[in-house]
Amino acid sequence: MYQIRTYNSIAIEGLEQFSRDKYEVASELPQPDGILVRSANLLDLVFPQQLTAVARAGAGVNNVPVERCTQQGIVVFNTPGANANAVKELVMAGLLLASRGIYTGLQFTAGLTEIDPKSLSTVLEREKKNFKGQELMGKTLGVVGLGAIGSNVANMALNMGMKVIGFDPALSVEAAWRLPSQVQKAENLQQLLGRSDYITLHVPAIPATKNLVNQDTLASFKTGARLLNFSREAIVNTDDVLTALDQGKLTSYVTDFPAPSLMGRQDVIAMPHLGASTREAESNCAIMAAQQLVDFIEHGNIRNSVNFPACELERTTGYRICFANQNVPKVLSHVLNLLADQNINVVEMLNKSKDDIAYNILDVESAPSPVLLDAIAHTEHVFHMRSL
C-alpha cells in the first residue's frame, strides 16, 4: 500500500483518485510516499525518508521548500491553471469593489436596523451621494504577470470595456498564445504603472517579486490608482502601501492577503485568501494534483513539476526503472552499460533535463535484479532511483 498524507482539507473528487486497494490516504501518516497540500506551511517540515513527491493542489508553491525537495530527490507538483477562473472572477469582484461604494454602502445600510421604516427611503436617497463610484469601462487595467490568471483577467477586463496593458518579462509561449491581441505589452513595469488606473498583480511569490510594490514603484503609479493583490502578501510592501493610501496616491487597496496593519480601514478591501475557494476550483486542483501523484508514484511519469523536467512515457513493459541524476555527461550511458552487462534489453526510454536535474524512464524487457538496481542507485551523480 502507498501512503498519501494530506496537509489541508482536499476536495473529495481528488481523494477519490486514489484507489482503496493501493492507497491509504490520511492526515496523520508517519511515512508517506506522497504529500497532498494546499496552503499549509511545509517550509520547516522534515521530510520522511521514503517521500517521493509533494503535490500542491494550487498554483503557488511558496509554502513548499522546493530547493530542499530537489536536493532530496522529491518531485514537487502544482496544478497550473486549475483555479485561474475562480481567481479571475474574484478579481472582477475586486475591481467593482474598488470602483463603487459597495463595501461602505453595505456597511451603512446594515447599520440602519433601528431606523423608522417610514423614513428609510428618504435616508437612503439622501445618503447615497456618500457612496458614489466610477465605472470600469474606458479605464486602463495594468496586469502584472500574464500567466494562467493574468491572461484570464486581461480577457475579462477587455470584455468589460476596459483597456488592458500587461507586463511579464518571462511570458511562456503557451501563455502568449492565450493572450488577446488587444492587450498592450508594456516594455517595463514603470511604463505599466504610469498608464494604469487599476493595477492587478498575478506573479508568484519568489525572491524577484518580493516587495515588487514599494515606495519607489508606487511613485510611478498614477495619482488615485487602485491596487489589487490576489497573489501573495510578500509582493507588496504593506507600510509603503499604507503611506500611499494616506497620501492619496492610492485610492484603494484590494487584497486577498491582508497584513494586520491593514485591518479596519475604509480604503482597504481585505479578503481571507478566497481566490481559489470555489467548489469548482477546489475540485479541479485536487483532481489534477492527485492524478499527477498517482501517475508519478505508480509509473514515474512527471507532469507539471516545478523542480523536475516533464517526462512521460506510456508503459511498454512490466519493468520500469526511473532515476534522477545531476545533469552531467555519461550518467545515462553508464546506467545503460550496467543493464547491457546483465543482458537486460531496454525497450523504450526517455531522458529529459531541466536546469541541473536530469530524469530518466527506462522500460526494460526483464526483471532487474536487486544487485543491478543497487548499482544504478549508487552510480555517481544519481540521487534517486525507483523500480516500478
Ligand X SMILES: NC(=O)c1ccc[n+]([C@@H]2O[C@H](COP(=O)([O-])OP(=O)(O)OC[C@H]3O[C@@H](n4cnc5c(N)ncnc54)[C@H](O)[C@@H]3O)[C@@H](O)[C@H]2O)c1
| Cβ-based neighbour number of residue 223 at 10 Å | 10
CA geometry: angle at 226 spanning 222 and 227, to 5°? 105
Place of cell 508519478: 296
| C-alpha span between 66 and 63 (Å, rounded) | 9
Does 276 engage in binding with ligand X (CB under 6 A)?
yes
Amino acid found at 198: Y
Q: What are phi and psi of 347, to 5 degrees?
A: -90, -45
The listed partner (ligand X, ligand 2HG, none) that binds 80, CB under 5 to 8 Å by sort, is: ligand X
DSSP element (H, E) containing 37: strand 34-37
The listed partner (ligand X, ligand 2HG, none) that binds 145, CB under 5 to 8 Å by sort, is: ligand X
> Which residue's C-beta sits nearest to ligand X?
147
Nearer to ligand 2HG, 60 or 105 (CB): 60
Determine the length of the chain.
Answer: 388
Q: How far is the CB of 62 from ligand 2HG (least distance, A)?
A: 8
> Which residue's C-beta sits nearest to ligand 2HG?
58
Nearest by Cα to 63 from 27, 34, 39, 35: 39
The listed partner (ligand X, ligand 2HG, none) that binds 39, CB under 5 to 8 Å by sort, is: ligand 2HG
DSSP element (H, E) containing 292: helix 279-299
- Of the candidate residues 165, 183, 203, 302, the single one contacting ligand X (CB under 6 A): 203
Does 347 engage in binding with ligand X (CB under 6 A)?
no
Does 227 engage in binding with ligand 2HG (CB under 6 A)?
no
DSSP conformational letter for 221: S
| C-alpha span between 124 and 110 (Å, rounded) | 12
Nearer to ligand 2HG, 236 or 372 (CB): 236
| C-alpha span between 125 and 105 (Å, rounded) | 12
- Of the candidate residues 14, 65, 73, 150, the single one contacting ligand X (CB under 6 A): 150
Nearest by Cα to 362 from 308, 324, 306, 310: 324
Q: Answer for the pair 317, 361: CB distance below 8 angstroms, yes or no.
A: no
Region of 58-66, 92-100, 331-339, 367-375 interacting with ligand 2HG (CB under 6 A): 58-66
| C-alpha span between 227 and 116 (Å, rounded) | 39
Query: Which positions from 104 through 163 interact with ligand 2HG, judged by CB under 6 A?
Result: none
Site map (CB under 6 A) of ligand 2HG, residues 3-42, x = contact? -----------------------------------xx---
Nearer to ligand 2HG, 11 or 349 (CB): 11
Residues engaged in binding ligand 2HG (CB under 6 A): 38-39, 58-60, 83, 275-277
Which residues of the shown chain bind ligand X in the complex (CB under 6 A)?
A: 58-60, 80, 83-84, 87, 144-150, 167-172, 175, 202-205, 208-209, 230-232, 256, 273, 275-276
